[in-house]
A and B are shown apart, each in its own frame.
Chain A
Amino acid sequence: MALKYVSEYRDSQLAKVLIESIKEKIEALHSSGSIKAKKRLRLMEVCGTHTMSIFRHGIRSVLPHTIELLSGPGCPVCVTAQKDIDAFIELSKQDNVILTTFGDLMKVPGTFSSLQKEKADGRDIRVVYSVFDAVEIAAANQGVTCNCNQANSANKTNQAKEVVFCGVGFETTTPTVAASILMASERGIDNFSIHSAHKLTPPALAALMETPATQIDGFILPGHVSVITGVDGYKDVFDKYKVPSVIAGFEPLDILKAILMLVTQQISGLPALENGYERAVSQFGNVKAVQIMNQVFEPADSVWRGIGHIPESGMRLRDSYKSFDALKKFNLELKDTPEPVGCACGQILMGLKTPEQCMMYGKKCTPAHPVGPCMVSSEGSCAAYYRYKGL
């Protein structure tokens, strides 16, 4: 596979044009008195990948100071509830289990430990880049029984192992996890299971709008999620709250363009749901992926770290796929656990505080010694702020 770099979306001349247009429009907004008492335009990038890209390309440093970019609740690791982290840790301690996970989860502190520490203590915890790798590990560890045909089991080890996958992520990830379950089901791989802490994006946007203190003037909507949900995925939320919303890609020009579109909406006074990422996102999204996701999972109430309980914002396995539910398989229960005292991750994820306003930021909580999940994930706003010193 040849990979061509997307330099055209980082073109300095085009960037200049966009930055100048944003500056002109912001000045126009000021002179018309449209930016009210608070004097700042608060735009939230919902997705952690946007947060990273904004820092990585120094986008804040080229914008007018009156545009405030807030990092939203779109970093999957950051919003995973502590009780789910504890459940992953508990699963890794079960006999004969290989726990498979995306790398970002390794360092997230649970109540007493983290997957990284459990691994140092000898648990079999493996980082995978795709859930399908976890299925293959399961296939290779199905074990051989006395009655088994040896010839068909050449690549199987003698000792059967249970392979558990940590299901974390939004609409971008959940369909692939659903597909992995269908695949395991078809191939009769019954030593594979997941614990689902999957989340849905639109209910989180609604929760943000139901909290008036957030004062969000516009959403930069996540490009990856929108590839699956399409523009239509946000229609209900937009119709209800009428907040300017633009779907954006992840290259610097994509983000600058989305900001320009949001500023333009402010000037016109006509909030709209717009697609600024036409090269990837369609009106209806990936219908097949959504169908697979809904075949295996169903919406359920879910706890978001720091934010709390949001109705119908999670995805749980449907009854017909309950045999893939790791907690059921090992007879474990989710236990409610208190979150670390003093951690402001919740308020940060809702745009109510910046990382610097958390009393632990940079002191007790650093990337080397994280307290809250926003400091752990490379996409977490605290980690991004820390790494780039808020620039």
Chain B
Amino acid sequence: MDKNRILLDHGSGGKIAHSLLKEMILPLFNNDMLSRLDDGAIINIGTGTRIAFSTDSYVVDPIFFPGGNIGELAINGTVNDIAMCGGDPKYISAALILEEGFSTDDLKIILNSMAEAAKKAGVFVVTGDTKVVPKGKADKIFINTSGLGVIPKGVNLSGSNAKAGDKVIISGTIADHGITILSSRENLKFDSDIKSDTAPLNQMVKRILNQSLIDKRVIEQSPTDKCPTDSSNSASNFNYRVHVLRDPTRGGVGTTLNEIASQSNVRINIWEDALPIKDSVRGMCELLGFDPLYLANEGKLLAVVSPESTNRVLEAIRQDEYGKDAAIIGEVVGIENSDKPLERSGVFLKTSIGGFRIVDMLTGEQLPRIC
């Protein structure tokens, strides 16, 4: 492939996007905070306080789709990225890039959605910027948001924390957002009940963290429990039994699990029968030849949790308004324990007929501009 120009693949979140990151960006900017490659950076600002800092640009096409629009997506996306780092999102910046001629009525709708989403998530938009470019130099509206949130003491979440024995939880049905965007595109009209799942997940993350902290206290009273504490954490009064939180947006559950497997150097086995997928979404995927494992979600999280806390964390997620369909979908396996030919890190799917297959990272774009 030609390496001299940027192709849509470079923005896919898959393998080619990763190679752009590794070959062109990391060598120039690398530092401890960036190299973790989590959803946001974790910055120690002294006096023991850590903040999560994240940024994202939104270029979704179409800008209005069943279940939401680009505005609430831009707020929820950044809120969720901060929450996945363990941060409690509070302050957001928003920058608008508008195309000359864009309808002010549409802009009003989008700004109202942003305001409502911010209110719902409990965050403040505290700074921003607006630029207008000549017609044809951008597509209607692009939005960038960044955000900050303080990380509670003792919380230590990272894609590199998955351990053998951990269980993998998904907070609800997968592929809703990706298939919604696809089906609302021009020339692809289906009548269906599917809609984007865009939602703020910071309240759900609070529930998860609270639940796993209670766990620690319960488990501490049991002398038989020998689970090691998080080594990187000096605050020994805290031990959260949640090791990884990630929102499987671009690239879907398949790509996000691959990132976790690679960062933690483990194998993750998932079970096809356990994956929550709406019938309508599954049908549409079959029809169009998309694998739901690679389609984007905008209101779901993956939690990798110690086995003894799995059921309680699952219950906590199910009590959240966005977590009713949460399910345990797989487990983390140490590489050294595996049988041939599976002696490698990666993601494996046990299919409903009892076979197994590799779930590789997506190579190029499966679907452009989904967020």
Least CB distance from B5 to A in Å reads 5
A6 touches B286 (CB 8 A): yes
Picked from B6, B286, B289, B352, the residue with its CB within 8 Å of the CB of A12 is B352
- Chain B, 175-218, contact with A by CB distance < 8 Å: what is the 0/1 string? 00000000000011011100000000000000000000000000
B127 at the interface (CB under 8 A from A): no
B2 at the interface (CB under 8 A from A): yes
Q: How large is the interface on B (under 10, 10 to 19, 20 to 34, 35 or more residues)?
A: 35 or more
Query: Which 6 A-B pairs rank lowest in CB-CB distance, beginning with the nearest?
Result: A58-B355, A3-B283, A15-B353, A367-B363, A61-B355, A58-B351
Give the complex CA separation of A378 and B363 in angstroms. 11
Surface stretch bound by B, among A267-275, A345-353, A383-391: A383-391
B357 touches A56 (CB 8 A): yes
Give the complex CA separation of A53 and B19 in angstroms. 29
A175 at the interface (CB under 8 A from B): no
B16 at the interface (CB under 8 A from A): yes
Give the complex CA separation of A256 and B286 in angstroms. 19
Chain B residues engaging chain A, CB cutoff 8 angstroms:
1-2, 5-9, 15-16, 19, 187-188, 190-192, 273, 279-280, 282-284, 286-289, 291, 341, 349-358, 360, 363-364
Given contacts A120-B5, A120-B6, contact A367 B357 (CB under 8 A): no
B282 surroundings in chain A (CB, below 8 A): 3, 5
Least CB distance from A22 to B in Å reads 12
Chain A residues engaging chain B, CB cutoff 8 angstroms:
1-6, 10-12, 15-16, 19, 55-62, 107, 116-117, 120-121, 128-130, 133, 136, 252-253, 256, 366-370, 378, 386-389, 391
Least CB distance from B344 to A in Å reads 9
Given contacts A129-B188, A370-B1, contact A58 B357 (CB under 8 A): yes
Give the complex CA separation of A378 and B7 in angstroms. 18
Give the complex CA separation of A366 and B361 in angstroms. 13
B192 touches A3 (CB 8 A): yes
Give the complex CA separation of A387 and B364 in angstroms. 12
Least CB distance from B24 to A in Å reads 15
B358 touches A391 (CB 8 A): yes
Given contacts A120-B7, A370-B1, contact A57 B187 (CB under 8 A): no
* Given contact pairs A4-B279, A57-B351, A62-B355, a sample of 18 additional A-B residue pairs in the complex whose CB atoms are under 8 Å apart: A1-B190, A3-B284, A3-B286, A12-B352, A55-B357, A58-B355, A58-B357, A60-B355, A62-B353, A117-B7, A120-B7, A253-B353, A256-B353, A367-B15, A368-B1, A368-B363, A370-B1, A388-B357
